[in-house]
C-alpha cells in the first residue's frame, strides 16, 4: 500500500516540484509566509490578504476578488508545470482531458495553501473584526465563489479545446509549429527525455473514477502523437497568458474608476501569476541556457534603463517642467542665503508672529505652542488627527489658536494638514464642526489599493497616460494614484496650490506648516512653505567668511522660475511622505535633477525644525510670550523594553549590522532629540515645557496578560500588536489607534493640556 501511495501521481508530482521547480515553489512560500504573518507584518502586508478592502469596505466582494486572484495564480502554476514537466509522464497523452487530469493530481500544494488561507482569514475575522459569524460565512462564500468561477472558466476552455478543437485543428497547429525549428526541437527533445526518465507512476487520480492504475501498453503510441497533445496545451497556455496580460493592461486605462481599483492583495497575486508564467516560459524555451540568458538580459536592461523613455521623471504637480531648470550647484545655494534674503524672510516671519500676538488681549502675554508630529503612514495620520481633536476639545479650542507652527514628517503631517484645513474652514464657516469624528474615518480610508493597482498596470510597464493640472500635463504614476485617492477620501478640501495658504498663515488664522522632505542628492532639507524660510537653512550667527555648510534649501526661492507657488499642496504632502517602493521619489525641475524622499529620514518627529525656529526667533519669543509649550505626537513608544538576544545563525550574523541600524533608527533620533531639547530648555531665557502623546500598545498587552512573570512586555509581541506601517488600516487597527487616547499616559497628557496657562497678565 505504501509503495502504491509513494508512486501515485500526486505524490510524484509533489516531489518533482521539490527537486526541480524551486523558483515556482518560492512564490507559494512567500504567499504562505504572508498569510501566516511571518513576512511583512510590520508593514501590514498580511492584513491586505486576510482583510481585503474593496470600494472602501471589507465585504464578500473583496474576498470574491481574492478568490479570483488565487484561482488565476493556481492555474498559472498548473499550466506552467504542465508545460515544463508534462512530457515526463507519457500516460497523460492517452487519458481523456490530460490537462484537467494533471491539475487534479497537481493539487497538493494549492490545496494546502487554500486550507491554510481559509483557516487564517476566518480566524482573523472572528478574532479581530466580527462577532457575526454569518457575515464571516458570506466572506467564505465570496472567496469560494471567486475561485470556482475562474476554475470553471479555464477548465471549460481546456475541456472544449482538448475535446473538439484539437481534433479539428491539431494538424494545422502541428504544421505551424513545424515551421519554427526551435520550439519543435525543444518539444521533441523533451519527449525523448521523457522516454529515458525514471519517473515512476503506478496510480493517478481520475476526475471521474478515483484512483486508476496507469496503463503500461504505451509502446504503440508514436512520438508525434504525444507531441500533438503537448503542442495543443502549450498553445492554450500562450493564449491564456496573453489574455491575462492584455486584460491587466486594458484595465490600466480605466484605473481611475473606483470599481476597477481591485484590492492590493489581488494586484500582488496577479503579479505573482505573471511572474510564474514568465518563469515557466523562459525555462521551457531556454532550458540549460536559462541562467546565462537571464544574466545577459538583466545587464542589457540595466544598460538600456538609462534611456529617456525609461527615466521620465515622477513629477510634482503644478510646477513648470518646460522652462529652464533651476541651477543646482553650491554657488546658487550660497546666493540663496545672501544676508539680505535671509533678513527679508526673518522680517516677514516676525510680522506673522506679530499677527499671531495681535489675536490676544493687549494686556496679556500669550503662551506660544508648537506641535510636532511623527511619520508612520496612515497610522500616524489617523493618530495625529485623533490627538489634535482631543487636544482642542480638552483646551476648549485654545490650543490651535495659540499654535504658531506644526512640524513633522510623513503621515503625521498629512493628518495635521487635514486638521489645519478643517480648522480654517471652521473659521470661515462656523457651522463646520472640525471636531467631528467622521473626519477620522475619512483620513483612515484605504489609500493603498489604487497605488498597488497602478504599480501593476502602469508603473511596471511604460507610463503612457497623462493628467492635466492647472493647464499643464503630467505623466500619471502611483504618486498620482496616492494623491487622487487622498483627495477622494478627504472630499478634496486640500486640493489647492501652495500659495493658497499664504494669506491665512500670514494673518495667523492657521499655524505655519513647513513640509520638509529630504533631498537625496546631498542630504539637505527642502523647506516647502508658502512663506520663504531661508533662515531655517543656516545658523543665525552666520557671517561672511565662516565656512558653514547650509542645512536646508528654501523651496520658493530656489524654484521661483519654475512656478513654485503653484505646487499642488497634496503633491507637497506626498513629497514629505514618500514611502520607498510605494510612492515614487519626486524629481524636481533643476539641473542636476533634485530628488526628494520621506522627511522622516532626517527627523521623523519634527523636533529639530521646531527648536530651530524657536532658536532663530528666541528674542521675539522672550519679549512677547510667556514661554513655549511643545506638544509632541508620536506614533511609536518612547520607552521600550530591551529585547533579549539569542545566539544568531550564520545568515543572521550577515544581516545583524544593517538590521540593528534600521531597528534603532527611531531610538537614535529620539535620543538626539532628547539631547537637543534639554540643551534648549537649559539655555533659553524663557520657559519651555513639553507634553507628549504616544501611540502605545504596552497597556493593551498588560491588560490582556500578554507579559512575562514580572510584567515585562515582549518587544516582538508589542510590535505585532501595533498598527501596521502603510497606507491602509484594518478595522481593528483603526479602533486600536483611536482608543489609544484613553491610555493612562495620554490621559495624563490631556490633563497637562488643560493645565496650560494660555494667557498671563502683562507685567507693568
For 330-339, the CB contacts below 8 A with 24+ separation are 332/558, 333/550, 333/553, 334/550, 336/534, 336/537, 336/553, 336/554, 336/557, 336/558, 337/534, 337/537, 337/538, 337/542, 337/550, 339/544
Q: Residue 241 and residue 73: Cα distance in Å, rounded?
A: 11
Residue 170 lies inside a defined structural domain of this protein: no
Q: Residue 643 and residue 476: Cα distance in Å, rounded?
A: 44
357 and 439, same domain (yes or no):
yes
396 and 264, same domain (yes or no):
no
Q: Taking the model in full, what pTM does it have?
A: 0.85
282 and 342, same domain (yes or no):
no
Domain count, the chain: 2
Residue 189 lies inside a defined structural domain of this protein: yes
Strands 518-519 and 594-597: antiparallel
355 and 260, same domain (yes or no):
no
250 and 336, same domain (yes or no):
no
Write the pLDDT tens digit of every residue in 471-495. 899 988 889 989 999 999 999 999 9
Q: Residue 721 and residue 728: Cα distance in Å, rounded?
A: 16
Write the pLDDT tens digit of every residue in 110-165. 999 999 999 999 988 887 655 678 888 999 999 999 999 998 888 887 776 654 33
Residue 296 lies inside a defined structural domain of this protein: no
Residue 304 lies inside a defined structural domain of this protein: no
- SS3 assignment for 584-653: CCEEECEECCEEEECCHHHHCCCHHHHHHHHHHCHHHHHHHCCCEEEEEEECCCCCCCCCCCCCCCHHHH
399 and 521, same domain (yes or no):
yes
365 and 418, same domain (yes or no):
yes
Q: Residue 452 and residue 53: Cα distance in Å, rounded?
A: 13
Final residue in a domain of this structure, among 290, 308, 340: 290
226 and 357, same domain (yes or no):
no
Residue 317 lies inside a defined structural domain of this protein: no
Residue 653 lies inside a defined structural domain of this protein: yes
Bin 139: left if φ > 0, else alpha if -120 < ψ < 50, else beta.
alpha
Domain with 404 in it = 326-639+649-755
Final residue in a domain of this structure, among 270, 290, 310: 290
497 and 576, same domain (yes or no):
yes
423 and 502, same domain (yes or no):
yes
**Residue 470 maps to which CATH number?**
3.40.1090
159 and 114, same domain (yes or no):
yes
Final residue in a domain of this structure, among 233, 263, 290: 290
Where in 358-402 does DSSP place strands (E)? 364-366, 368-373
218 and 359, same domain (yes or no):
no
Residue 762 lies inside a defined structural domain of this protein: no
- Which strand (E) or helix (H) includes residue 688? strand 688-694
pLDDT at 166 (0 to 100): 35
Residue 763 lies inside a defined structural domain of this protein: no
Which stretches of the chain score pLDDT less than 70?
93, 128-131, 160-199, 215-238, 240-241, 245, 248-249, 251-255, 284, 287, 309-310, 461-462, 540-547, 641-645, 651-663, 698-722, 764
Amino acid at each position: 500500500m505504501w509503495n502504491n501511495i509513494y508512486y501515485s501521481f500526486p505524490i510524484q508530482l509533489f516531489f518533482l516540484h521539490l527537486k526541480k521547480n524551486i523558483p515556482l515553489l518560492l512564490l507559494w512560500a512567500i504567499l504562505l509566509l504572508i498569510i501566516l504573518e511571518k513576512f511583512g507584518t510590520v508593514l501590514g502586508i498580511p492584513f491586505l490578504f486576510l482583510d481585503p478592502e474593496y470600494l472602501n469596505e471589507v465585504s464578500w466582494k473583496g474576498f470574491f476578488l481574492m478568490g479570483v486572484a488565487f484561482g488565476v495564480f493556481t492555474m498559472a502554476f498548473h499550466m506552467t508545470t504542465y508545460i515544463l514537466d508534462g512530457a515526463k509522464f507519457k500516460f497523460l497523452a492517452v487519458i481523456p482531458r490530460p490537462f484537467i487530469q494533471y491539475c487534479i493530481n497537481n493539487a497538493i500544494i494549492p490545496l494546502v495553501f487554500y486550507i491554510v488561507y481559509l483557516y487564517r482569514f476566518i480566524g482573523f475575522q472572528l478574532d479581530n473584526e466580527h462577532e457575526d459569524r454569518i457575515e464571516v460565512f458570506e466572506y467564505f462564500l465570496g472567496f469560494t465563489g471567486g475561485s470556482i468561477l475562474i476554475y470553471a472558466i479555464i477548465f471549460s476552455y481546456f475541456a472544449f479545446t482538448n475535446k473538439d478543437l484539437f481534433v479539428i485543428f491539431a494538424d494545422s497547429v502541428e504544421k505551424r509549429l513545424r515551421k519554427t525549428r526551435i520550439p519543435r526541437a525543444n518539444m521533441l527533445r523533451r519527449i525523448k527525455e521523457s522516454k529515458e526518465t525514471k519517473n515512476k507512476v503506478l496510480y493517478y487520480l481520475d476526475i471521474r473514477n478515483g484512483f486508476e492504475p496507469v496503463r503500461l501498453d504505451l509502446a504503440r503510441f508514436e512520438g508525434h502523437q504525444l507531441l500533438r497533445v503537448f503542442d495543443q496545451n502549450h498553445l492554450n497556455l500562450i493564449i491564456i497568458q496573453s489574455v491575462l496580460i492584455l486584460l491587466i493592461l486594458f484595465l490600466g486605462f480605466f484605473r481611475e474608476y473606483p470599481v476597477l481599483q481591485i484590492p492590493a492583495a489581488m494586484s500582488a497575486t496577479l503579479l505573482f501569476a505573471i511572474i510564474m508564467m514568465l518563469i515557466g516560459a523562459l525555462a521551457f524555451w531556454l532550458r540549460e541556457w536559462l541562467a546565462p540568458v537571464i544574466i545577459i538580459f538583466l545587464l542589457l536592461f540595466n544598460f538600456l534603463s538609462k534611456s529617456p523613455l525609461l527615466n521620465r521623471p515622477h513629477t510634482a504637480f503644478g510646477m513648470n517642467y518646460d522652462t529652464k531648470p533651476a541651477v543646482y550647484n553650491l554657488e546658487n545655494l550660497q546666493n540663496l542665503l545672501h544676508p539680505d534674503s535671509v533678513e527679508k524672510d526673518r522680517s516677514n516671519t516676525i510680522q506673522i508672529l506679530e499677527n499671531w500676538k495681535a489675536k490676544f488681549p493687549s494686556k496679556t502675554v500669550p503662551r506660544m505652542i508648537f506641535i510636532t508630529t511623527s511619520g508612520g503612514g496612515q497610522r500616524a495620520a489617523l493618530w495625529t488627527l485623533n490627538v489634535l481633536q482631543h487636544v482642542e476639545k480638552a483646551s476648549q479650542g485654545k490650543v490651535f489658536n495659540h499654535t504658531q507652527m506644526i512640524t513633522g514628517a510623513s503621515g503625521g503631517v498629512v493628518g495635521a494638514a487635514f486638521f489645519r484645513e478643517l480648522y480654517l474652514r471652521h473659521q470661515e464657516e462656523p457651522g463646520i464642526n472640525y471636531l467631528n469624528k467622521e473626519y477620522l474615518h475619512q483620513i483612515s480610508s484605504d489609500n493603498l489599493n489604487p497605488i498597488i493597482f497602478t504599480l501593476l498596470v502602469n508603473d511596471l510597464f511604460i507610463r503612457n497616460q497623462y493628467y492635466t493640472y492647472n493647464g499643464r500635463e503630467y505623466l500619471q504614476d502611483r504618486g498620482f494614484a496616492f494623491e487622487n485617492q487622498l483627495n477622494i477620501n478627504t472630499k478634496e478640501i486640500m486640493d489647492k496650490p501652495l500659495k493658497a495658504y499664504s494669506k491665512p498663515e500670514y494673518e495667523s488664522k492657521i499655524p505655519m506648516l513647513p513640509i520638509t522632505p529630504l533631498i537625496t542628492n546631498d542630504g539637505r532639507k527642502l523647506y516647502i512653505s508658502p512663506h520663504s524660510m531661508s533662515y531655517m537653512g543656516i545658523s543665525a550667527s552666520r557671517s561672511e567668511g565662516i565656512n558653514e555648510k547650509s542645512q536646508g534649501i528654501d523651496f520658493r526661492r530656489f524654484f521661483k522660475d519654475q512656478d513654485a507657488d503653484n505646487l499642488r499642496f497634496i503633491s507637497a504632502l506626498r513629497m514629505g511622505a514618500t514611502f520607498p517602493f510605494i510612492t515614487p521619489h519626486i524629481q524636481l525641475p533643476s539641473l542636476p535633477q533634485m530628488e526628494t524622499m520621506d522627511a522622516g529620514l532626517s527627523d521623523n518627529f519634527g523636533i529639530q525644525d521646531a527648536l530651530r525656529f524657536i532658536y532663530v526667533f528666541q528674542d521675539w519669543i522672550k519679549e512677547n510670550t510667556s514661554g513655549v509649550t511643545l506638544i509632541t505626537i508620536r506614533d511609536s513608544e518612547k520607552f521600550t523594553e530591551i529585547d533579549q538576544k539569542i545566539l544568531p545563525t550564520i545568515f543572521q550574523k550577515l544581516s545583524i549590522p544593517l538590521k540593528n541600524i534600521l531597528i534603532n533608527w527611531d531610538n537614535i533620533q529620539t535620543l538626539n532629540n532628547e539631547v537637543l531639547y534639554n540643551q534648549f530648555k537649559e539655555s533659553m531665557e524663557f520657559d519651555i515645557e513639553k507634553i507628549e502623546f504616544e501611540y502605545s500598545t504596552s497597556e493593551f498587552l498588560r491588560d490582556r496578560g500578554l507579559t512575562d512573570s514580572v510584567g515585562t512586555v515582549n518587544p516582538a509581541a508589542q510590535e505585532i500588536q501595533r498598527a501596521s506601517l502603510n497606507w491602509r488600516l484594518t478595522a481593528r487597527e483603526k479602533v486600536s489607534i483611536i482608543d489609544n487616547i484613553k491610555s493612562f499616559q495620554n490621559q495624563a497628557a490631556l490633563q497637562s493640556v488643560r493645565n496650560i496657562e494660555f494667557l498671563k497678565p502683562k507685567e507693568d
